[in-house]
Amino acid sequence: MAKIIKLDQHTANLIAAGEVIERPASVVKELVENSIDAEARNIEINLVDAGITEIVVSDDGVGMDPADARMCVEPHATSKIRDKQDLFRITTLGFRGEALPSIASVSHFRLKTSTDGHKGILYSLKGGAFVSEAVIACPRGTEITVRNLFFNTPARLQNLQSQSQELSHITDYVSKIALARPDIAFKLTNNDRVLLQTYGNGNLLEAISQVYGLEIAKHMLSFYESVGYFQVSGFASDLNVSRANKLQITIIVNERVIKNHAVTNAVLAAYKERLVIGRYPLVVLKISADPALIDVNIHPAKLEVRFSAENELLNLVTHAISYALHNSELIPEAEEKNPVPLPPAEEKAEEEFLDIGLEEETHFEDDLDELLRMFEVDQEEPRQYPKEELIKEEPQEPPRFEQQEYSFIEEEGERESLLPKMYYIGQLHGTYLLFQDEENFYMIDQHAAYERINYEKIKRELQKDRNISYELLIPIKLNFTISESLLLAERIEELRNLGIIIEDFGSGTYTVREIPIWIPKGSEREFVEEIINAVIKRGKVERIEFLDSLAKNLACKRSIKANQYLDKNVIDYLIGDLSRCENPYNCPHGRPIIVKFKNTEIEKWFRRIVT
Ligand code: ADP
Ligand code: MG
């Protein structure tokens, strides 16, 4: 008996929805892309409960006539391509004709649209089934309302994350599309609160400022370069701004936001040796290319594209950004080069001075003196030594061995040493420490040893119920994207438990006032940023597991690197600490710390004994 049947339309739509519509952000993306394809100049996205309850996207685009309005929710119905030839010259964001039927099949869907701005049509469906149709008065354009998303697919509904996480996916997307289309005005609200608004005047730098804030925009360098069929342009952050992840590298190809590893790496190549390891720039990279050179039809969400002549493009990207960075380096910016974040207290004090100054001048002068004195001390800070000189000056300064200040490994009832008693012989290549005892010769990888010690210490500190923190003299100012801010706001308490006291300063700026005492001096910012980023991104992992992986990441941050010559007393401390570790044999990533050669083994090498 034949087993193959043709699926009914509704089932087919649900399957397509499974591919394209994963979460509220996918709905927003598909609807906004349709509005862009409809040549809208203004696009508004209004959400209720991060889109889980309701998503309304309205535009002032070309609209649809009644026949098209009925047709657009049918599968494979599109106005954007006619035949297979068109597939090779796609200039619109959509072309599959899958989005609307998919969305309509998993929601309460309502469409209002008009092509002339007088008469329009209202068309509604529930779970893909027709509900009603009416002729209405309606401005030109289209408004689509999606309510109760996934009401008929409980598994998908269950899989949704918290509202702030879902919202952050949406703000991420809208931020990027707003950067891709500075010529379109976007407005995004959630429960009536405006999260993002751009003005659509076509100025990319202005859009950057609306998305990332003015402070970041001031640090963006423009670049432009072209070869025959590719043209790259955009803005790249200078070296005073960086992030702990790559997410703010936005790649736009022919006005489509895409993901592409090779291009991201080409961007990073321009910053190689300019930014420290683990720091990433903010970049808005626009690539214009002949549509015939790109294939967007390889991913259902159209996020990935394939390029012909890819290598040429990659070189062009690296070169253009490198050149902009290089030029900016030639311009001396004494103040900018060494950014000591201006303490908000000072800014505020200045403002207050202006205000109060008019009324009560006399009182204030004392305060001002005091204030100046306070900041005099801090202003001494920025020294201009190049990095290498600093290292030469104090070559023996062990990065984490602030013994006097803070005991490294707590001696809880003096654990029995797992290491043999060894005598130090010397150091090899600034990387391995050599030891001996009666029977053996030992080599220790100093970097791996430090990593292990740091890891155990940090893990212990993180796992404490309450971290002891201290107040920073100069608070650390940090910038976050809209979506990061949303997640951060929800996790302030979690950070407090880890000993980080952080305050919202508005428009993505946060101030860290207190940090845990175990964070090594000089690495405050780096550690705090890493911790906050980890907390923001934390998925559904257990706390213990989470803290463990955080400790691993932090441990390798400041561990001593290979190629560093160590002083004898530093080595003593190192071995002392290592011997008190739970596991002195492997670094947190599992590589060996210590290897042993038996004397008999060595004698065999030299044929002193015969086997
Ligand atoms: P695609 O975008 O791949 O063509 P969709 O399912 O997203 O498929 O949309 C189907 C069709 O509905 C589009 O081709 C377009 O003609 C029409 N459409 C959808 N949204 C809009 C809109 N906001 N304004 C005008 N027409 C629209
Ligand atoms: Mg579409």
**pLDDT reported for residue 148:** 97
DSSP string, 25-80: HHHHHHHHHHHHHTT-SEEEEEEEGGGTSEEEEEE-S----HHHHHHTTSTT--SS
225 and 185 within one domain = no
DSSP string, 282-350: -EEEEEEE-GGGEE-TTSTT--B-EESSHHHHHHHHHHHHHHHHHHHHHS--HHHHS--PPPHHHHHHH
Alpha helices in 160-223 (DSSP H): 163-180, 204-212, 214-217
Q: Tell whether 297 is covered by a domain.
A: yes
For position 541, which CATH number holds?
3.30.1370.100
184 and 226 within one domain = no
d(CA 318, CA 569): 45
For position 175, which CATH number holds?
3.30.565.10
Q: Tell whether 147 is covered by a domain.
A: yes
Q: Tell whether 310 is covered by a domain.
A: yes
297 and 200 within one domain = no
154 and 53 within one domain = yes
**pLDDT reported for residue 559:** 62
For position 309, which CATH number holds?
3.30.230.10
Q: Tell whether 529 is covered by a domain.
A: yes
Classify 205 as helix, strand or coil: helix
Q: Which of 558, 589, 606 is the last residue of a domain?
A: 558
Ligand 1 near 269 CB (within 6 A): no
Q: Tell whether 354 is covered by a domain.
A: no
Please tell me whether the overall predicted TM-score, pTM, comes out greater than 0.85 for this model.
no
The ligand 1 atom nearest the CA atom of 35: 23
Q: Tell whether 73 is covered by a domain.
A: yes
The ligand 1 atom nearest the CA atom of 30: 7
d(CA 544, CA 460): 11
The residues whose Cβ lies within 5 A of ligand 2, an ion, are 34, 94, 99
**pLDDT reported for residue 610:** 73
Domain count across the chain: 3
Summarised one tens digit per residue, pLDDT across range 479-531 is 899 889 989 988 999 999 899 999 998 888 999 999 998 888 888 888 999 99
147 and 15 within one domain = yes
188 and 275 within one domain = no
The ligand 1 atom nearest the CA atom of 101: 6
**pLDDT reported for residue 508:** 85
Computed over its alpha carbons, how large is the radius of gyration of the chain? 30
Side chain identity at residue 402, one-letter code:
E
Q: Tell whether 466 is covered by a domain.
A: yes
Q: How far is the CA of 236 from the centre of ligand 2 (A)?
A: 30
Closest CA to ligand 1's atom 27:
34
Token code pair at residue 552? 């691993």
223 and 183 within one domain = no
Ligand 1 near 32 CB (within 6 A): no
154 and 51 within one domain = yes
Domain that holds residue 182: 9-204
Asked if 190 contacts 219 with a C-beta cutoff of 8 angstroms, the reply is: no
181 and 283 within one domain = no
**pLDDT reported for residue 113:** 97
- In 3-state terms the chain splits into helix, strand, coil percentages (rounded to 5) of 40, 25, 35
Summarised one tens digit per residue, pLDDT across range 315-373 is 999 999 999 998 776 544 444 434 434 334 333 333 333 333 333 433 434 444 444 44
197 and 102 within one domain = yes
271 and 138 within one domain = no
Per-residue pLDDT for 404 more than 50? no
Q: Which of 326, 348, 383 is the last residue of a domain?
A: 326
Q: Tell whether 403 is covered by a domain.
A: no
Q: What is the DSSP letter of 107?
A: S
Query: What's the mean per-residue pLDDT of the chain?
Result: 82
d(CA 425, CA 187): 68
Q: Which of 512, 535, 558 is the last residue of a domain?
A: 558
99 and 69 within one domain = yes
Token code pair at residue 12? 């087919």
Lowest mean pLDDT among 1-15, 278-292, 591-605: 1-15
**pLDDT reported for residue 302:** 62
**pLDDT reported for residue 502:** 94
Asked if 37 contacts 126 with a C-beta cutoff of 8 angstroms, the reply is: no
Closest CA to ligand 1's atom 16:
79
